[in-house]
A and B are shown apart, each in its own frame.
Chain A
Amino acid sequence: MTRQTQKPVLSAAGIVAGYRPDLPILHGVEVAVTAGEVATIIGPNGAGKSTLIKAIAGLVAISAGTVLLDGEDITGQPAHQLARLGAGFVPQTGNVFASLTIQENLILGGIGLGRGEAFARVKEIYQRYPMLGEKRHDKAATLSGGQRQILAVARVLIMRPRLILLDEPTAGLSPMAAAELFQLVRVLAADGAAILMVEQNARAALKMSDTGFVLAEGQNRLSGPASDLLADAKVGQIFLGQRGAAKKAAKKAARKSSSKGANR
């Protein structure tokens, strides 16, 4: 079955949401992500990207619209229920419990499971990410930025989520750590999770994504395969920092046409 014909794991439609009921930031936004797909939301500052991902995660109140997880209506469910239902969220900042050990962070990730099962899954995580196993008794505060992101993602993985929401996962990371994190995201998608990501580094994120959504002023502006968005001159000009490149191209074209005219 191709991605286009697959039923979406996440399907959000007509989302109106904001931090105050009388002041919505999102005005009828739609997103859909299928299993094994990486979708990136891009847009200018204040477009409502993080608000959208927080609304789906149950942290921002949704005043209209529906969010479906594998066809089940999860609109307005409390955040802790969504995590237990298999919608894991990794926020941009403060995404690990710095005062707890790595093991305690992972144990909390499995709080919705039985004790035995939770501990078995923590062991699985140690096999998958040996660095976490080696440092299991260290406080999370001692980890580097990249290691913290791995711990934050690993904590979400304990629940074997169907949907993983990532809010600017590479913020504050070195280029090498960011590249490693993108690789990790692709592995998670290959394992079958649907991934919806907000990323400031739009170009790099679209390069590794399957789908992209462009938001502006709390509304959908464009959406489609990530490669198409990357090639779209308008998207490139406004969101991917190609304004200068586009101007140069326009000037070059103008020079060409004027020189042709002179030759005539």
Chain B
Amino acid sequence: MFMQHFADGILSGAIVALGAIGLSFTMKILRFANFSHSELLTWGGYLALIFLAFAGSFTDLSASKISPFSFGWPMLFAMLGSAAATSLLAVLLHYLVFRRLARTAGHMTLVFASFGIALLLRHLVLLFWGHDPIYYSNELQFAIRIPGGARVMPDQVFLLGLTILVVVFLHLFLTRSRTGIAMRGVAENPELARITGVNVDWIIIWVWVIGASGAAISGVLYGMTVQLRPELGFSLILPLFAAAILGGAGSLYGAVLGGLIVGLSENLSVMVIPSTYKPAVPFLLILVILYFRPDGIFGERK
């Protein structure tokens, strides 16, 4: 039983981790808590439907399945397309709302604006796709037994593998590429970055693109392993913030570790408390972190 909860915790933690990476970067580099970030997960999940339908017009979706998964290359194409489209949406929001407000208003105004945008985005999903849950595929999947006795779906193994791949890619990007190093420089000291020759406005676009891509992939993985519904992002907002705060704003590894801790604690908590209290666990985690280590595990102490 423990191993099953542990495996479930790792898998749901991986989804939270992917979503929390972008939130963590936004908190550190753009210096505000973006409550609309979780809606990018929802949009990512739903936008993939459009790309999936587009790919479906060229090929038979069920025939292109890659065994043992429930999907094939059209789903991978849809995931990439969704990441690009969600990035575009995030950059648009940056130019239309956040950039303008950042010049004239304080951080709290940005936070409240993000609340408004979250509501707008959520209701647009309702308007376009309706309230009923949607599945990418109706294919039946059989669980596989892993060492320790737990059972997981092949799609969930893919989820974990892809999360690891994304984290490794982001690690290489942040440490090996000059844009990644510049991003870390901007996170530490934006004014120094400017006088060093870094185009900070350009780096901010990169932050939105990376954050939105992570959110979109996270949303698609959620849709693949659970289901798509308009409240997808809203239901993850607390776990995402708990993971970002737990790991420390601006830390890739912090967001990943934070996501895993949130996923594990949520899933393992049902062994000792009724499962109806499970959503309260991230909230408790936020309180504990803010009390004992407000800058997070990997955050710099102020």
Contacts and interface: CB of A to CB of B under 8 A. Distances in A.
Interface string B268-302: 00000000000000000000000000000000100
B106 interface: no
A79 B300 CA distance: 27
Nearest to B194: A79
Interface stretch (B13-21, B132-140, B178-186): B178-186
Interface residues on A, range: 20 to 34
Given A59-B191, A107-B178, A111-B178, A100 B197 contact: no
A239 interface: no
Nearest to B184: A100
Contacts of A121: none
Interface string B168-205: 00000000001001101100110111111111100000
B192 A95 contact: yes
A59 B192 CA distance: 10
A108 B186 CA distance: 11
Interface in A71-104: 78-80, 82-84, 88-89, 91, 94-100, 104
Contacts of B194: 58-59, 78-80, 83
A80 B194 CA distance: 5
Interface of A: 57-59, 78-80, 82-84, 88-89, 91, 94-100, 104, 107-112, 115, 118, 155, 159
Interface residues of B, number: 18
B192 A91 contact: yes
B191 A109 contact: no
B198 A108 contact: yes
Contacts of A84: 197
Chain A CB within 10 A, most for which of B181, B185, B196, B198: B196
B196 A111 contact: yes
Contacts of A100: 181, 184-185, 188
Contacts of B178: 107-108, 111, 115, 118
Given A100-B184, A104-B181, A80 B191 contact: no
B31 to A, nearest CB: 16
The 3 lowest CB-CB distance pairs between A and B, nearest first, are A83-B197, A79-B194, A112-B197
Contacts of A159: 197
